[in-house]
């Protein structure tokens, strides 16, 4: 079962070219009190007439008594309107305002001149990508009703301890929702770049790092718009493991669609053309979903290409897609 409060999304998958296996695993409410007040009417006793003084011939005494109190009024009450119910988890994933926020414009992002042959080179690429993505997403998140904030980015080698658990560099990069942090795997990115001397292999390694970073940032977008937490709750309540895994695939394929929206909108300036475009197209198809929680290569290519070409979140609603599109 998934822990709802500490959402972790492990990013990535295994590529057929030898990159590491990718695996993804991914609030209290208080009811407002409604104050009421009742103004009870108050009364004062009226004066009684004084008895007449007895005489030999009594005479009638006429008395007039004026009321000394105001007529009682109906109690005055004050009521607070009941708050409107918020969106359900199904609303947040199926009908999120993000899908109507409009297309993404280029922010003229350019690839870092540093190469990920060293830790410093890899971190320079992460820094460049973070700045670009932080320019690309704020207006869209705001139109969706979310509050934009930049994620934290930490790189690691070996084993890293996080609020979402302990993870090793034998696994993929991941996103921890409770701290809004992207954890990039230095060992993977440096290893991919240095493993083969051929120029096209190095281009592939750079495109893979770009795709992975943008994918994990896609989870951050899901977090800012309520999709990540809603999906976690839905999966927690899933009646079967198969339903839980399908929910994971919908989440992961959408993160890739969001990530490739950014890549597509900046493909001319980054650039993703020529050999880089060829390697990007190759990698989005040739991956293996070892745990059946990310989607197969054909479906991953489908959603990544939709994001890349359209550059609009309305094409990334994997939660409205048929089961066949998220296998």
Concatenate the DSSP letters of all residues of 187-206 into one string: HHHHHHHHH--SHHHHHHHH
pLDDT confidence band for 63 (50 / 70 / 90): very low
pLDDT at 143: 97
- 24 φ, ψ to 5°? -120, 125
pLDDT at 61: 39
| Average of per-residue pLDDT across 304-323 | 98
> Percentage of the chain surpassing pLDDT 90?
72
Burial class (CB in 10 A: 0-12, 13-18, 19+), 197: exposed
Higher per-residue pLDDT: 322 or 37 = 322
Q: How do the residues of the chain divide into helix, strand and coil, expressed in percent and rounded to 5?
A: 45, 10, 50
Higher per-residue pLDDT: 61 or 231 = 231
Most confident of 46-60, 252-266, 288-302: 252-266
Peptide bond into 201 cis (omega under 30): no
| Average of per-residue pLDDT across 2-10 | 53
pLDDT at 49: 36
What separation in angstroms does the CA of 10 have from each of 154, 248, 297? 14, 11, 17
The yes-or-no verdict on residue 1 having pLDDT over 60 is: no
283 is written with which tokens? 């990698």
pLDDT confidence band for 84 (50 / 70 / 90): confident
| Average of per-residue pLDDT across 187-209 | 98
Q: Against a cut of 0.85, is the pTM above it? A: no
pLDDT at 47: 37
> Percentage of the chain surpassing pLDDT 70?
76
Measuring CA to CA, which residue among 137, 323, 100, 287 is closest to residue 219?
Answer: 137
Query: Which helix (H) or strand (E) segment is 108 a member of?
Result: none
| Average of per-residue pLDDT across 300-306 | 98
pLDDT at 10: 67
Mean pLDDT computed over every residue of the chain: 84
CA distance 143 to 145: 5
pLDDT at 82: 73
pLDDT at 290: 85
The yes-or-no verdict on residue 14 having pLDDT over 60 is: no
pLDDT at 114: 98
pLDDT at 3: 39
pLDDT at 172: 93
pLDDT confidence band for 6 (50 / 70 / 90): low
């Amino acid at each position: 079962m998934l822990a709802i409060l500490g959402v972790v999304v492990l990013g990535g998958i295994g590529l057929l070219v030898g990159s590491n296996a990718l695996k993804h695993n991914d609030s209290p409410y208080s009811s407002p009190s409604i104050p009421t007040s009742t103004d009870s009417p108050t009364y004062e006793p009226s004066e009684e007439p004084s008895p007449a003084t007895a005489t030999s011939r009594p005479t009638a005494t006429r008395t007039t008594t004026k009321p000394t109190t105001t007529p009682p009024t109906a109690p005055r009450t004050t009521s607070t309107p009941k708050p409107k119910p918020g969106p359900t988890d199904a609303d947040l994933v199926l009908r999120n305002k993000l899908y109507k926020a409009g297309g993404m414009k280029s922010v003229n992002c350019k690839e870092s001149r540093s190469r990920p042959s060293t830790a410093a080179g890899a971190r320079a690429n992460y820094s460049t990508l973070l700045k670009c993505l932080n320019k690309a997403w704020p207006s869209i998140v705001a139109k969706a009703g979310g509050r934009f904030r930049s994620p934290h980015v930490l790189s690691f080698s070996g084993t890293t301890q996080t609020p979402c658990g302990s993870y090793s560099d034998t696994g993929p990069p991941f996103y921890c929702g409770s701290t809004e942090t992207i954890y990039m795997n230095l060992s993977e990115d440096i290893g991919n770049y240095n493993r083969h001397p051929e120029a096209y292999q190095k281009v592939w390694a750079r495109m893979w790092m770009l795709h992975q970073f943008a994918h994990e940032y896609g989870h951050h977008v899901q977090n800012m718009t309520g999709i990540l937490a809603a999906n976690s709750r839905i999966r927690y309540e899933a009646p079967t493991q198969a339903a839980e895994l399908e929910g994971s695939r919908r989440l992961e394929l959408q993160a890739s669609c969001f990530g490739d929206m950014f890549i597509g909108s900046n493909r001319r300036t980054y650039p993703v053309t020529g050999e880089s475009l060829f390697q990007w197209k190759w990698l989005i198809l040739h991956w293996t979903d070892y745990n059946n929680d990310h989607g197969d290569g054909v479906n991953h290519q489908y959603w990544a290409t939709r994001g890349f070409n359209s550059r609009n979140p309305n094409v990334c609603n994997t939660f409205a897609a048929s089961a066949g599109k998220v296998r």
